[in-house]
Amino acid sequence: MADDWQEAKSTEAESVAARLAAEALIIDVDGFEGPLDLLLTLSRTQKVDLRKISVRELAEQYLIFVNKASALRIELAADYLVMAAWLAYLKSRLLLPPDPTEDGPSAEDLAAHLAFQLERLAAMREAAARLMARDQKGRDFFARGLPEDVTRKRKITYGATLMDLMQAYARIRTRDDFRPFVMDRDHVYTMEQALDRLRGLIGYAGQWTDLTSWLPQGWESNPMRRRSATAAHFAAVLELTKAGQVELRQGDVFAPLMVRQREGGR
């Protein structure tokens, strides 16, 4: 009994500590460069060599983090959630005895690879730090400040960089990307166009008239054009209704939209 209580107390203390740690992390969530970075930070709390890390425990910590974040209504990017799902899967597989009939890598292989990834990332971090700590040109050592040009013998060479070359090619090729875009406009009827058109037409709408009967010629059959023209005219009619020039009526959901000039409208 006492043991149980002791144990319960210590796990509680642990989970409190874990929760506090998770909260501290969450405050910093923007500071993480993706799930692997977060995992690396979490793994530091295990205070062991990365090669001896308990992936199961790490998965647990990560899931606590993600749960905590969702409880605090912090939106995590999708890749954090993908990693959470994968770790939950890995954790469950690590708990179960291996299924000899299953193909593919074992849970241990997957865990070992994750540990390898973390170790490699940590190693590259350290390598990056060592690289940046090196003596650097223009900061610690210097090139000739006064390159000499003694005799001005002018020989002109033409130079271009790889960037110039690629940009030139990109420029030529994007020209093609742009032409279809202009052509697309053929099938777009703008609200401004519809508004202009309707202003001229509402005078003739003393009776309730179906909006679709007002679509301009050449825009009724082609589905793409029809959709665009309908949308534009609908928006234009709403605009005119707001301005008090027309009245609008619809009998039912998806029923035809009926339009009529408003009595006394300007």
Q: Within positions 89 to 108, which residues make up the interface with another protein, using CB under 8 A?
A: 104-105
Report, in Å, the least distance between residue 102 CB and another protein. 11
β-strand partners of 248:
259
Give the number of C-alpha atoms closer than 13 A to the C-alpha of residue 157, restricted to the C-beta side: 3
Q: At a CB cut-off of 8 Å and minimum separation 6, what does 135 contact?
A: 141
Residue 86 within binding range of another protein, rule CB under 8 A: yes
Take residue 45 and report the two structure tokens written for it.
């709390």
Which one of the spans 162-170, 189-197, 208-216, 223-231 is the region binding another protein (CB under 8 A)?
A: 162-170
Restricting to residues 24-43, which ones interact with another protein according to CB under 8 A? 33-37, 39
Report the distance separating Cα 157 and Cα 244, nearest Å: 71
Q: Which of 148, 203, 252, 254 binds another protein (CB under 8 A)?
A: 148
- Phi, psi angles (nearest 5°) of residue 27: -55, -30
Report, in Å, the least distance between residue 168 CB and another protein. 4
Take residue 162 and report the two structure tokens written for it.
């790889």
Total of residues contacting another protein (CB under 8 A): 76
Which one of the spans 2-10, 52-60, 61-69, 78-86 is the region binding another protein (CB under 8 A)?
A: 78-86
Q: Which of 1, 47, 101, 151 binds another protein (CB under 8 A)?
A: 151
Q: Which of 18, 59, 83, 202 binds another protein (CB under 8 A)?
A: 83
β-strand partners of 260:
247
Which one of the spans 119-127, 190-198, 202-210, 242-250 is the region binding another protein (CB under 8 A)?
A: 119-127
Query: C-alpha distances in angstroms, 156 versus 74, 146, 159, 161, 162?
Result: 60, 22, 9, 16, 20
Report, in Å, the least distance between residue 257 CB and another protein. 37
